[in-house]
Amino acid sequence: MIETLEEYKKENKVLSRKLKLMEQSLSQFTSIKTNYDVLIKKLEEKDKNLRDINNKLEDLVSERTRELENINKQLEKNLRLLEELSTTDALTNLRNRRSFDEIFAQEFNRAKRQNYEFNFLIIDIDYFKKYNDFYGHRAGDEALKAVGKVLNKFARRANDFVFRYGGEEFVYISCFHDFKEIETLGNAIRKSIYSLEINHEKNPHNFLSVSIGGIVFKDKDLLIEEVFKTADDNLYISKENGRNKVTISI
């Protein structure tokens, strides 16, 4: 209990100091709370910005993925177009069907115009489907390459052309050979391929072999279609006669 004015004043000073300290503490707390609120707000804004950035990145990745897919589709389309326009068979490195269509007509018309022999052979691998089924397509590709190499060795002159016509079928065009020469050539091709001794258990001849049909003509009024049909008919005769045979007509 305060009994004197002096004691009152003294206690009042003490209370005033405590009040001041409390006000300072409250001010500091308020400042801390304000700073905390500001920090939280900034973090929330940053979190929102991060979410926005993440969304933008996802959109960008999706856009780039679509662009890459479109580019890949275009590349595949271009590769197919290049393959169609190319004159070389990718597997055997021989001239391809497209090249054949151009050169066949060119050489055929030249032979008729300049009146010299035109030689045309169709070479077909015997039982090739059975070979593929039994040994696998990779072995089949290797067999096609091997046949292609042999045929390429026989195309020595400027007027000799060898083509992979399609699948297991090849075509040989040359000029100036007479019947006897082209028959000898056909048998040399057949023997060379057979002498590779590529095992073929589904072939009665035990090794990979070819059947050949051809035509040699001069001074004949033939159409291109008739030349191909005659050679194809002779190929059929070679197959009917047991395969691994050569049949050529004049």
By annotation, the residues acting in catalysis are 168
Do the bridges between strand 210-217 and strand 161-166 make them parallel or antiparallel, or are there none, so unpaired? unpaired
Tell me the C-alpha distance between 4 and 113, whole Å: 147
The pair of structure tokens assigned to 89 is 């068979």
Q: Is 212 in contact with 245 (CB distance < 8 Å)?
A: yes
Tell me the C-alpha distance between 109 and 224, whole Å: 9
Q: Is 202 in contact with 127 (CB distance < 8 Å)?
A: yes
Tell me the C-alpha distance between 162 and 244, whole Å: 19
Give the burial class of 7: count Cβ atoms within 10 A of its Cβ; 0-12 exposed, 13-18 middle, 19 or more buried. Answer: exposed
